[in-house]
Chains A and B, each alone.
Chain A
């Protein structure tokens, strides 16, 4: 997903001279071709995220569209104030490309796992927050971003995820429904967790013939509740699954939407990472399994009354 994103930035930069790429001490080979072909649109800055975000705010203020890449936490925690004050307060069209969303960096420990980024980023007015589920969606979102005057935060998955979305998407930010809109059990999810959810849906449909559907939200800042309100009302059970702490992410956004419409919130079931610093290492998948966020865990949750 990261490779697709960076190549897409290169593609966009070739078409539009306002597009610049800015990295913070990324690997030596990062966008080597772009660095050579478009040296004026490529910046590799030092390990200094506070500066980095202020710097791109200055570029954006002068009409450039900076696509900035570093590890998610170093944006969201280290440079939170710069994102809020330099970028969002001024509503500047900066695109923060956040590597290692969720538990991608599980082997590196809690300094590197981005499990609170939705909570932090969705607390900032004007900032749009995205969590694409595959490379197609990522690419389409980046193209789509040129039409938006707002700042964006985009959480990256690990890469190599199976493709589940079409190669051409006129509105890639809109929720995607998989299955019957009037299903009895409805999964709501975002980011790469959609793959575990879809696998769980397959299992449930196959073995138990349960009427189950899934909704994937590429954008968290606007859930477009009206477009799936009927599915919510029809479902007996709505499971919100996210690779994030329980607070401030997708579940919180869903709860706000449902509550605002005065609908039944009792049918909501939450499954997420715990509100804790996780001191186990291993792989992203290990953590999904440990916290019931893999396909088996999710299917089990759907069957439990």
Chain B
């Protein structure tokens, strides 16, 4: 199946009540802040939620005695952080910190995730192309310590323009990191337009396989497909790449596949109310 068909399928996936609740909260926060990367956050909600709820071992609970054995999660496309924040809040992993003041001067929650202000965040990101090299370092560290935790890193499709990802991909295979899972949020949109127009990275699956990754394609809004793929344990010593076909702005018709909603400041309450009404149930 080609990427166009896969995107069409991602577009028609109906949202679960969990997915709708998380999106509603995301819009509430954005309404209060009047700004945010809405589109890139909406495309990763199911990926992050399934990871934290059904896949990762002991994620985010820094009080746990097993904290050092947790699976590590990095949001390399840090601008999608609203999608991560709402999942962490929903799971009670924000230690009482107030997400409602997102992006205000006193807030712990900025427009990109920071581990120094939010302990449940594994690593601060923002500038693109940083997550994968760090993830390789974490995965090698787990091997050196003979520990079994895995490393999950979400990378944007536009972010793949950054060469550092490919430097890291080559090294991940050199180090035989079967404890590393790279998830590509393939929403086919970047700031200035379609990924396929700005810099077409296809055939993407072939590229990852040529590097030596075991590669799986999934519908990035289908929770069952995600669960199956993310719980995959490699039979080989290769790292795993999951290409998740998603829709930027998923769930809000006005925002879907729209560059306008990639990032917006000075968003009015009326605009957010209109998006909320538009939220697909």
* In the complex, per-residue mask of B146-176: 1 if CB is within 8 Å of any chain A CB, else 0: 0000000000000000011001101100100
Answer yes or no: B141 CB below 8 A from chain A CBs. yes
* In the complex, per-residue mask of B122-137: 1 if CB is within 8 Å of any chain A CB, else 0: 0110110110111111
Of the candidates A50, A54, A85, which one forms a contact with B124 in the assembled complex, judged by CB atoms under 8 Å apart?
A85
Would you list which residues of chain B between 158 and 206 have a CB under 8 Å from chain A?
Answer: 163-164, 167-168, 170-171, 174
* In the complex, per-residue mask of A207-236: 1 if CB is within 8 Å of any chain B CB, else 0: 000000000000000000000000000000
Of the candidates A40, A51, A58, which one forms a contact with B138 in the assembled complex, judged by CB atoms under 8 Å apart?
A58
Q: Are A55 and B133 in contact, CB atoms less than 8 angstroms apart?
A: yes
Assign chain B's interface to a size class. 20 to 34
- Which residues of the partner chain B approach A81 to less than 8 Å between Cβ atoms? 127, 130
Chain A residue at minimum C-beta to C-beta distance from B122: A61
Q: How far is the CA of A60 from the CA of B138 in the complex (A)?
A: 9
- Which residues of the partner chain B approach A50 to less than 8 Å between Cβ atoms? 129, 133, 163-164, 167
Q: Which of B127, B133, B144, B164 has the most CB of A within 10 A?
A: B133
A59-B140, A62-B145, A86-B130 known; A51+B168 contact, CB < 8 A? yes
Answer yes or no: A34 CB below 8 A from chain B CBs. no
Q: Which of A20, A50, A52, A56 has the most CB of B within 10 A?
A: A50
Chain A residue at minimum C-beta to C-beta distance from B169: A51
Smallest CB separation, A184 vs chain B (Å): 49
Answer yes or no: B142 CB below 8 A from chain A CBs. yes
Chain B residue at minimum C-beta to C-beta distance from A49: B167
A46-B171, A48-B171 known; A54+B130 contact, CB < 8 A? yes
- Which residues of the partner chain A approach B142 to less than 8 Å between Cβ atoms? 62
Answer yes or no: A57 CB below 8 A from chain B CBs. yes
* In the complex, per-residue mask of B107-127: 1 if CB is within 8 Å of any chain A CB, else 0: 000000001100000011011
Q: Are B126 and A85 in contact, CB atoms less than 8 angstroms apart?
A: yes
Of the candidates B145, B163, B168, which one forms a contact with A54 in the assembled complex, judged by CB atoms under 8 Å apart?
B168
Smallest CB separation, B68 vs chain A (Å): 9
Interface residues of chain B: helix, strand, loop or mixed (majority): helix
Smallest CB separation, A77 vs chain B (Å): 15
Q: How far is the CA of A90 from the CA of B124 in the complex (A)?
A: 8
Q: Are A82 and B141 in contact, CB atoms less than 8 angstroms apart?
A: no
Q: Are A64 and B130 in contact, CB atoms less than 8 angstroms apart?
A: no
Answer yes or no: A53 CB below 8 A from chain B CBs. yes
Would you list which residues of chain A between 36 and 72 have a CB under 8 Å from chain B?
Answer: 40, 43, 45-46, 48, 50-64
- Which residues of the partner chain A approach B127 to less than 8 Å between Cβ atoms? 81, 85
Q: Are B134 and A86 in contact, CB atoms less than 8 angstroms apart?
A: yes
Of the candidates A58, A60, A62, A90, which one forms a contact with B133 in the assembled complex, judged by CB atoms under 8 Å apart?
A58
- Which residues of the partner chain A approach B145 to less than 8 Å between Cβ atoms? 62-63
Chain B residue at minimum C-beta to C-beta distance from A45: B171
Q: Are B137 and A48 in contact, CB atoms less than 8 angstroms apart?
A: no
Q: Are B138 and A62 in contact, CB atoms less than 8 angstroms apart?
A: yes
Answer yes or no: A89 CB below 8 A from chain B CBs. yes
Q: Which of B115, B126, B167 has the most CB of A within 10 A?
A: B167
Q: Are B141 and A58 in contact, CB atoms less than 8 angstroms apart?
A: yes
Q: How far is the CA of A45 from the CA of B137 in the complex (A)?
A: 12
Q: Which of B124, B137, B171 has the most CB of A within 10 A?
A: B137
Q: How far is the CA of A20 from the CA of B139 in the complex (A)?
A: 15
- Which residues of the partner chain A approach B132 to less than 8 Å between Cβ atoms? 51, 54
Q: Which of B115, B124, B126, B171 has the most CB of A within 10 A?
A: B171
Q: How far is the CA of A54 from the CA of B142 in the complex (A)?
A: 16
Smallest CB separation, B79 vs chain A (Å): 14
Q: Are B167 and A90 in contact, CB atoms less than 8 angstroms apart?
A: no
Q: Are B124 and A89 in contact, CB atoms less than 8 angstroms apart?
A: yes
- Which residues of the partner chain A approach B171 to less than 8 Å between Cβ atoms? 45-46, 48, 51, 55
Chain A residue at minimum C-beta to C-beta distance from B124: A89
Of the candidates B115, B129, B136, which one forms a contact with A90 in the assembled complex, judged by CB atoms under 8 Å apart?
B115
Q: Are B134 and A57 in contact, CB atoms less than 8 angstroms apart?
A: yes
Chain B residue at minimum C-beta to C-beta distance from A55: B137
Q: Are A61 and B123 in contact, CB atoms less than 8 angstroms apart?
A: yes
Of the candidates B115, B116, B136, B163, which one forms a contact with A55 in the assembled complex, judged by CB atoms under 8 Å apart?
B136
Would you list which residues of chain A between 238 and 263 have a CB under 8 Å from chain B?
Answer: none
Q: Are B141 and A53 in contact, CB atoms less than 8 angstroms apart?
A: no
Chain A residue at minimum C-beta to C-beta distance from B151: A58
Of the candidates B115, B134, B170, which one forms a contact with A58 in the assembled complex, judged by CB atoms under 8 Å apart?
B134
Q: Are B144 and A51 in contact, CB atoms less than 8 angstroms apart?
A: no
A-B contact pairs, 14 of them (CB 8 A): A51-B167, A54-B132, A54-B164, A54-B168, A55-B140, A56-B137, A57-B134, A58-B135, A58-B139, A59-B138, A61-B141, A62-B141, A82-B130, A85-B124
* A→B interface (CB under 8 Å): 20, 40, 43, 45-46, 48, 50-64, 81-82, 85-86, 89-90
Q: A58-B133, A81-B130 are in contact. List 8 more A-B contacts (CB 8 A).
A: A43-B140, A54-B130, A54-B136, A57-B133, A64-B141, A85-B130, A86-B134, A89-B116
Closest 9 CB pairs of A and B: A58-B137, A54-B133, A62-B141, A51-B167, A48-B167, A50-B164, A58-B138, A55-B137, A58-B134
